[in-house]
Structure 1
Amino acid sequence: MVCALGAAVCFGVASVLQAVAARAAAEPGGGARSAVDARLLGRALREWRYVAGLGLDGVGFALELVALRSLPIYAVGAALAASLAVTAVAAARLLDTRLSPREWGAVAAVCGGLALLGMASGSEGAGADHGGTALRWGTLATALAVLAAGTAAGRLPERSRAAALGLGAGLGFGVVEVAVRVIDGMTPVALLTNPAVYGLLVGGGAAFLLLTSALQRGSVTAATAGMVIGETVGPALVGVLALGDRTRHGWAPVAVAGFALAVVGALALARFGEVAPPGEDAEKKTDEATPSRL
């Protein structure tokens, strides 16, 4: 659990660093028309803050691997969701944004709900359960579907684009979480013949591409809220239904309540987390403390 919480800190700070770099790499005047663009990722890689964010992501992923091999997926997801609070605090400092009391309440709801989920987790993980062949192929098929759906989401209206792309990124990261659990053999032959390995690579690559596109324009907290939902709910269900993850005895209702609270809080952030995009005049920027409502 310490490793999972450490990964949350790494991912939360990395998200904001990557948001700053993605905005700096955006083509002038192209924000409103932007979609999922692999060229954006190439431009972002020339920004030192994006590279620093990738370094933190690498450290976080290593810590996540340790946690996933020891705990149920939903427990790791609950700990990683704390990255939303880290992102919100870091965004307030690095992106010069302000979160309203309602937004802070939504952050608290997400963290509180996922804390309940963490408390409801079993004391030990599912151990050696690596799923079956269908699940291994399913990770690869899901990763390809996430990439295709995320590309389509890049054409959505600006106000919903960040949350949708963030959700796609979360689903990609969720594929990575499941793939880590279903990879059993670590020999070269076992890795090369396991479709889950390719699902991990495609899912992780798609997640980074979609997240970079989401952070190019719009609210970093809204994009991260969508990402938290995608990388928490789906993988947790797979862990329970296919990999034998369980809650502590008698704590299933608490786990369900935690999921519901986390989803409601994250959706509230996705709706109310709009901040003034880069390039707007100073007068609008000073009004960030009162985000626009739909």
Structure 2
Amino acid sequence: MICALGAAVCFGTASVLQAVAARAAARPESGAGVDPALLLRAVRQWRYVAGLALDGCGFVLQVVALRTLPIYAVGAALAASLAVTAVVASRLLAVRLSAAEWRAVAVVCAGLGMLALASGAEGHRPGPDALPWAMPAAALGVLLTGAAVGRLPPRPRALALGLGAGFGFGVVEVSVRLIDDVSPGALLRDPAAYGLLLGGGAAFLLLTSALQRGSVTTATAGMVLGETVGPALAGVVWLGDGTRPGLGWLAAGGFAVAVAGSLALARFGEAPEPEPGARDGQHAS
């Protein structure tokens, strides 16, 4: 659980650092369109590089957590990265959180505490023989679905793309659990390894499209649902994930509470703009 929470802290902080760097690298004359040179300017800033390093550390911690905890606990902890983003944005970007959003942060923490008390060890069932092959097929399905929903109106499109991104991240979570041998030769023969790569790539592609073309809140809410509910069910039904004896109700409640709190913070799926005049006021003082 410490690794899962560490991954959430890494991902949530990285989002804010990368947002600060991207905005500092943006040029007024670039307008609202895509600036091809933005990435090249951003990577010259230490905040952006630090954000990428935190993303890498977060992924390693996520893998460790998935190898030792039920998927439902790790998924809820990763969704809690939105709470981390909200708190860090309130400091670095001078974003004002409402009282309801501070309560949502507290709710997320309470849900994770419930999960920490109730979660058992990871399941040890191998799952159906076809499950590793289903991972790359599911990732391909995510890509095809994303291409199909790209023509929908903005609001349903953002939700559908966010859900698709969540399913892609879910493929990554399940694939990590299915990979037993990490030697190069075994990975080349393991379909779950290809599912991990395809699922992660598809998820990032769909999430980027959703954030560029629709509501950040809607897209992030869809992503949170997609990356938590489906993988959690797969872990319980096929991989043997369970809870401590007699605490199934606490785990289910903690999962629901943590996900609900994360949904309330969905606008922080992309770090918001700083409050108007907030920085000016700080400099003036």
Coarse TM-score class (shorter-chain normalised): 0.7 to 0.9
Matched, 1:100 2:95: no
Paired letter, 2:17: L
> In the alignment, is residue 251 of structure 1 matched against residue 254 of structure 2?
no
Which moved further from structure 2: 82-91 or 129-138? Answer: 129-138
- Alpha carbons of 1:75 and 1:139: their partners in 2 closer, same or farther (altered >3 Å)? same
Counterpart of 2:195 (choices 196, 199, 221) is 199
Aligned equivalent of 1:29: 32
| Range 172-181 or range 21-30, more displaced | 21-30
Residue 214 of structure 1: how far off its partner (Å): 4.5
Q: Is the 8 A contact 2:83 2:265 kept in 1?
A: no
CA RMSD of aligned residues (A): 3.7
Q: How does 1:160-179 map to 2 (within 5 A)?
A: 165-179=161-175
In the TM superposition, residue 86 of structure 1 has moved relative to its aligned partner by: 0.7
| Contact residue 22 and residue 212 of structure 1 kept, 8 A | no
SS in 1 for 2:77: helix
Q: Which stretches in structure 1 are left out of the alignment for 5+ residues?
A: 32-38, 284-294
Q: Look up the match of 1:82.
A: 80
Contact persistence 2:16–2:271 (CA under 8 A):
no
Report how far residue 205 of structure 1 moved. 1.4
Alpha-carbon distance between aligned partners in 1 of 2:135 and 2:214, rounded to the nearest angstrom:
30
Q: CA deviation at 1:130?
A: 3.4
Task: Give runs of aligned pairs for residues 1-294 of structure 1, distance below 5 A.
Answer: 1-20=1-20, 28-30=31-33, 43-44=38-39, 46-48=41-43, 49-122=47-120, 124-127=121-124, 129-152=125-148, 165-216=161-212, 224-270=220-266
AA matched with 1:28: G
Amino acid of the structure 1 residue aligned with 2:32? G
Task: Report the residue type matching 2:15 in the other structure.
Answer: S
CA distance in 2, matches of 1:251, 1:179: 27
Partners of 1:157 and 1:21 lie apart in 2 by: 31
Q: Please state how far the C-alpha of 1:192 moved relative to its aligned partner.
A: 1.2
Q: 1:276 to 1:11 in 2, by over 3 A?
A: closer
| TM-score, with length taken from structure 2 | 0.77
Percent identity between the two aligned chains: 67
Separation in 1, partners of 2:275, 2:213: 16
**Counterpart residue identity of residue 97, structure 2:** L
Larger Rg: 2
